[in-house]
């Protein structure tokens, strides 16, 4: 008799293949310009449970005019992840090309509202940032747009700081052996963070936590972006370690049980 888990996985896979046949079945890719997305009212459960086989590949950041090729080249990034993660990326691609696409807009908001919490645990910061950028572009209310803008500004400010350090400043030992300059003013009354005590960093993290107490589907995405920045090799992480302040993840410590079940089968 077939294992119940295997039977359920096979059922999910069959549903996904039918629902997105226009992309997953190469024989049906006949529409000019590439395959459409699935029906915007598709059941997202099977897409979340169906895992793309393989080992994740390096991000592909180019552009193909043909959507089928573009979707396929993106797919390598999502090997080992739920098909829903790849679907969300493809939906974002469609919205980049046509922000008014009604099917893509509906599908994007459904994914974000219905399974965004689970996907925020799976997606890397590149795609979490893309979600924020897309919400800024197409949000239907000011709360969502403002929340997404917070994530976009945070991660891109971090990228600017890290780009300057990695491209134009000499390598330095870590932790630093001594403070080279006193700090002080940066510009227009803005001062450097005083790293002897953790006050500035504590206040920043406290305000971020308070700011995220809003009802928006973007909240878990922003929380994950900030959590990853705190945990990664970034100026945020390094400043926190210099103050002696313990890092404080803003995302839940435990993944949702449904997601644990999915990832546990990999």
State residue 254's pLDDT score.
Answer: 45
State residue 27's pLDDT score.
Answer: 62
My answer on whether 161 and 118 are in the same domain is no
My answer on whether 170 and 80 are in the same domain is no
**Domain total for the chain?**
2
Q: Which residue has the tokens 């919400």?
A: 135
My answer on whether 14 and 43 are in the same domain is yes
Cα–Cα distances (Å) from 26 to 35, 68, 94, 193, 199, in that order, read 10, 9, 19, 55, 57
**Is 251 domain-assigned?**
no
**Is 252 domain-assigned?**
no
My answer on whether 47 and 92 are in the same domain is yes
The model's pLDDT over 234-255, given as tens digits with 9 standing for 90+, comes to: 888 888 787 666 666 554 444 3
Which of the pair, 230 or 85, is modelled with greater confidence?
Answer: 85
The model's pLDDT over 100-155, given as tens digits with 9 standing for 90+, comes to: 999 999 999 999 999 999 999 999 999 999 999 999 999 999 999 999 999 999 99
**Domain-ending residue, one of 88, 123, 158:** 123
My answer on whether 186 and 232 are in the same domain is yes
My answer on whether 190 and 106 are in the same domain is no
Residues 6+ apart with CB under 8 A from 252: none
Q: Does residue 266 register a pLDDT over 60?
A: no
What is the model's pTM? 0.86
Which of the pair, 158 or 178, is modelled with greater confidence?
Answer: 158
**Is 137 domain-assigned?**
no
My answer on whether 34 and 63 are in the same domain is yes
My answer on whether 42 and 113 are in the same domain is yes
State residue 257's pLDDT score.
Answer: 43
Q: Does residue 183 register a pLDDT over 70?
A: yes
**Domain-ending residue, one of 62, 94, 123:** 123
Q: Does residue 165 register a pLDDT over 70?
A: yes
**Is 179 domain-assigned?**
yes
d(C-alpha 59, C-alpha 105), whole Å = 24
My answer on whether 232 and 162 are in the same domain is yes
My answer on whether 19 and 94 are in the same domain is yes
Identify the domain containing residue 239 by its residue range.
143-243
**Is 77 domain-assigned?**
yes
Per-residue tokens: 63: 């552009």
Q: Does residue 259 register a pLDDT over 70?
A: no
My answer on whether 115 and 165 are in the same domain is no
**Domain-ending residue, one of 123, 156, 187:** 123
State residue 193's pLDDT score.
Answer: 80
Which of the pair, 247 or 83, is modelled with greater confidence?
Answer: 83
Give the distance, in angstroms, between the CA of residue 190 and the centroid of all CA atoms in the same chain: 30
My answer on whether 217 and 159 are in the same domain is yes
Mean pLDDT of 79-93: 97
Query: Whose CA is closest to 133, among 179, 174, 99?
Result: 99
State residue 16's pLDDT score.
Answer: 96
């Amino acid at each position: 008799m077939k294992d119940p888990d295997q039977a359920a996985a096979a059922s999910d896979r069959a549903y996904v293949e039918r629902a997105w046949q226009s992309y997953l079945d190469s024989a049906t890719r006949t529409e000019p310009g590439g395959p459409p997305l699935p029906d915007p009212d598709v059941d997202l459960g099977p897409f979340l449970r169906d895992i793309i086989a393989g080992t994740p590949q390096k991000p592909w950041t180019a552009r193909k005019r043909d959507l089928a090729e573009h979707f396929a080249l993106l797919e390598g990034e999502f090997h080992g992840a739920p098909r829903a993660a790849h679907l969300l990326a493809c939906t974002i691609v469609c919205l980049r090309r046509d922000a008014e696409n009604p099917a893509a807009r509906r599908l994007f908001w459904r994914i974000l509202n219905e399974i965004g919490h689970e996907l925020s645990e799976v997606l890397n910061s590149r795609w979490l940032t893309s979600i924020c950028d897309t919400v800024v572009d197409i949000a239907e209310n000011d709360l969502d747009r403002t929340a997404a803008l917070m994530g976009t500004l945070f991660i891109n400010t971090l990228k600017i700081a890290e780009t300057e350090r990695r491209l134009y400043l000499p390598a330095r030992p870590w932790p630093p052996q001594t403070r080279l300059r006193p700090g002080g003013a940066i510009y227009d009354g803005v001062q450097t963070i005083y790293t002897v005590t953790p006050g500035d960093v504590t206040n920043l993290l406290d305000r971020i936590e308070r700011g995220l107490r809003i009802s928006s589907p973007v909240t878990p995405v922003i929380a994950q972006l900030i959590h990853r920045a705190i945990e990664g090799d970034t100026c945020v992480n390094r400043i926190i370690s210099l103050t002696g302040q313990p890092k404080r993840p803003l995302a839940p410590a435990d993944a949702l049980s449904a997601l644990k079940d999915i990832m546990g089968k990999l």
